[in-house]
Amino acid sequence: MSDDKPQLYLITPPVIDLDLFPTTLARVLEAHDVACLRLSLATRDEDVILRTGDALRDIAHAHDVAMVISDHVLMVERLGLDGVHLSDANARIRKLRDELGADTIIGAFCGTSRHDGMSAGEAGADYVSFGPVGQTALGDGQLVEWDVFEWWSEVIELPVVAEGALSVELVEAFAPITDFFAFGEEIWGAEDPVAALAKLTAPLR
């Protein structure tokens, strides 16, 4: 990667209160320079996804922040979003690239596997994400190693995102070898998400 510091990438909470969250999101985007927002809802209720996507897209785009949605490919055009983030990269990327066109962002979560990351890049992904970086009780307990990011930054030009249970210490350690840090529950669960993000990203300033 270049000498530029990593950019910020936000992941929405899995459940969103539309009476409260849009204001919180706007405050965060006004206070911090964010590159991308991922709509990542737990629900499969189409109406909820559409209403939430509409509300957050307007806020994101008003702050010049790209917005992608987790997995729901058909929602990209319907909601006027910038792209899709695939939780399971597999072989869909090449097909989706043909369907969505060159200008649509396609991101791919590749867990801890550099092989999956390389495959996603070769298939046409615009970025890959690895995680979790930090200790979490979720998943199978495997962490993505620092060495994966170090190797990626030296060998691969495709942008890479570090995500999952990030801390100030991990941000400081991974800053030289990642292009983006993706923050989600690390900030939304805090009393003041603006301050929480400022604290987590202090090593980048």
Which pLDDT score is estimated for 91? Answer: 63
Hey, what amino acid is at 94? R
> What is the span of the domain harbouring residue 199?
7-204
Per the structure, the count of domains in the chain is 1
Does the structure show a pLDDT above 80 at 29? yes
Sole residue written with tokens 């690390």: 186
Instruction: For residue range 116-164, list pLDDT tens digits in order.
Output: 999 999 999 999 999 999 998 777 779 999 999 999 999 999 999 999 9
Does the structure show a pLDDT above 90 at 4? no
Let me know if residue 139 belongs to a domain. yes
Does the structure show a pLDDT above 70 at 93? yes
Let me know if residue 2 belongs to a domain. no
User: Is residue 107 within 8 Å of 161, Cβ to Cβ?
Assistant: yes
Q: What is the CATH number of the domain that holds 149?
A: 3.20.20.70
Which pLDDT score is estimated for 136? Answer: 83
Q: Would you state the structure tokens that stand for residue 97, as one six-digit string?
A: 């690239």
Instruction: Average the pLDDT over 164-183 and give the result.
Output: 98
Instruction: For residue range 183-202, list pLDDT tens digits in order.
Output: 999 999 999 999 999 999 99
pTM of the entire predicted model: 0.95
- Phi, psi (rounded to 5 degrees) for 23: -65, -40
Q: What is the DSSP letter of 205?
A: -
Residues comprising the chain, all counted: 205
Does the structure show a pLDDT above 50 at 2? no
Let me know if residue 1 belongs to a domain. no
pLDDT band at residue 28 using 50, 70 and 90 as cut-offs: very high
Instruction: For residue range 41-70, list pLDDT tens digits in order.
Output: 999 999 999 999 999 999 999 999 999 999
Let me know if residue 132 belongs to a domain. yes
- Phi, psi (rounded to 5 degrees) for 164: 100, 105
Let me know if residue 82 belongs to a domain. yes
d(CA 117, CA 155): 12
Instruction: Return mean pLDDT, the chain.
Output: 95
Let me know if residue 159 belongs to a domain. yes
Let me know if residue 114 belongs to a domain. yes
What share of the chain in percent tops pLDDT 70? 98
Instruction: Average the pLDDT over 84-91 and give the result.
Output: 84
Which pLDDT score is estimated for 99? Answer: 93
Does the structure show a pLDDT above 60 at 1? no
Let me know if residue 35 belongs to a domain. yes
Instruction: Average the pLDDT over 30-37 and give the result.
Output: 98
Three-state DSSP at 85 gives strand
